[in-house]
Structure 1
């Protein structure tokens, strides 16, 4: 077990360096492309006074947003590999829990989902808050799944089910936006479809990984196999989104 944990610690350090390097490259090479966050407001009784035209509240720059979710992952992997902290991390893994993972995901995955939503044309601040809230709820239910199941008693699947319900909400909102955009115009560019379908598949792969852990299917009877699964999926999802966004809207002289 000690050798396996040693390899996991080395893996976390390598992933910290890889995520951080990507964040630095994105920041160094990106243009200043931004997307608006908007709001439309009442100026009288609802249903009587029409809602005004959307106003831009602020511009969200995509380069720093992409770097942010990469740096959050880098920080997570670095912290759990630090002297002293890695013992806490390993003890938690022995209980089938990784608190640090869910803290990081609640921030990084939410930034990722918001970025995807905005690329499809969702800009209303209230809609974005709702999407963020649903995604954070999904992550917290993932943490609750681990907290309420010690992998000895019969598994309580309720947190997993609730997490799936919360987690699908942002994707339904994004899909609705895409469908309406196609119905009322030309729809989003091709790269947005690539981002939507690829990241949707990867996000769902996290749920599959947890399902395999708690169903104790094959090698997933060992919690560390699932932990490596989370590490690989996180790297893949973050790297794919980062470079798809970079290549299509953040590359200098790129016209989105």
Structure 2
């Protein structure tokens, strides 16, 4: 691969540093997941169904429980998914991961995000009353679309390109905003909102979208983000900080509930 076709800053030294980060994050995410499993109580939230009773415009039947989701277990799964991603990319999939980084892409990041961030967003939605099965499916679809647009953003902007397109990024932003608008509608429409729930909404919204900000900075080539390896390292830092914040706030909310 010529230097023109290699992403900026993806050197042997940078890749060695990223491997150390991935090893560290494997341990830290896994330890947090185990801690939450140990500390978790039995708090769960029911996913419900509510179907029309007749032709369009008919009364909707009262919701009935389809299944229940144990919040502590779900948060631990979120962390274990992140740990598995970092473990694979620093061991058996290391060569593929590093070859991808040289090409300015990390497919494993997008695959893992499509699962882990969707789990977390569904849990956030639960706290704001988005528990109907139809709504849950819509939230999952919108979030996975957002993540896949992120993947497409990288695919459409290889190293050595003559110009950069941000179209997939903005399409992904539009798709990703939909679940948060639904959450905001329920937040505003609720007569009594516990303070900790408002805190969760604000802090998690900020944490959730720091990943999008990182990609925007990366593809606008602003400051150190013109170095692809720096952007990748920032993703790893965010993976630790933002995911830990998301996980522990949702878990703490389950205890408060």
- TM-score tier, shorter chain, comes to over 0.9
- 1:10 paired with 2:5, answer no
- 1:162 paired with 2:157, answer no
Deviation at 1:121, TM superposition (A): 1.5
- 1:216 paired with 2:221, answer yes
Matching residue of 1:172 = 181
Say if 1:16 and 1:78, in contact at 8 Å, map to a contact too: yes
CA-based RMSD of the aligned residues comes to 1.2
Deviations 1:130-178 (A, max 9, x none): 0111000000000000011113220111101101110101110100110
Return the alpha-carbon distance in structure 2 between the equivalents of residues 179 and 17 of structure 1: 39
Deviation at 1:6, TM superposition (A): 1.1
- 1:66 paired with 2:75, answer yes
Deviations 1:179-237 (A, max 9, x none): 111xxx212x2222112111111222111111111111111111010001111112112
Matching residue of 1:115 = 123
Report the 3-state secondary structure (helix = DSSP H, G, I; strand = E; otherwise coil) of the residue aligned with 2:69. strand
Return the alpha-carbon distance in structure 1 between the equivalents of residues 95 and 136 of structure 2: 38
TM-score (norm 2): 0.92
Report the 3-state secondary structure (helix = DSSP H, G, I; strand = E; otherwise coil) of the residue aligned with 2:252. helix
TM-score (norm 1): 0.93
Higher-RCO chain (CA-CA 8 Å, sequence separation at least 6): 2
Q: Which moved more, 1:9-18 or 1:232-241?
A: 232-241
Return the alpha-carbon distance in structure 2 between the equivalents of residues 192 and 151 of structure 1: 43
Return the alpha-carbon distance in structure 1 between the equivalents of residues 219 and 159 of structure 2: 7
Matching residue of 2:202 = 197
Instruction: Count residues with an aligned counterpart.
Output: 246
- 1:186 paired with 2:196, answer no
Return the alpha-carbon distance in structure 1 between the equivalents of residues 142 and 250 of structure 2: 23
- 1:56 paired with 2:65, answer yes
Say if 1:191 and 1:244, in contact at 8 Å, map to a contact too: no
Matching residue of 2:144 = 136
Stretches (4+) displaced over 6 A = none
Return the alpha-carbon distance in structure 2 between the equivalents of residues 2 and 15 of structure 1: 20
Return the alpha-carbon distance in structure 2 between the equivalents of residues 157 and 241 of structure 1: 27
Return the alpha-carbon distance in structure 2 between the equivalents of residues 247 and 78 of structure 1: 27
Deviation at 1:56, TM superposition (A): 1.1
- 1:76 paired with 2:85, answer yes
Deviations 1:19-69 (A, max 9, x none): 00000010011101000101111232222x311111111111101110111
Deviations 1:77-120 (A, max 9, x none): 0000004x211111111111000000000000001110000011
Return the alpha-carbon distance in structure 1 between the equivalents of residues 62 and 252 of structure 2: 32
Say if 1:151 and 1:214, in contact at 8 Å, map to a contact too: no
Return the alpha-carbon distance in structure 2 between the equivalents of residues 191 and 234 of structure 1: 23
Return the alpha-carbon distance in structure 2 between the equivalents of residues 191 and 236 of structure 1: 20
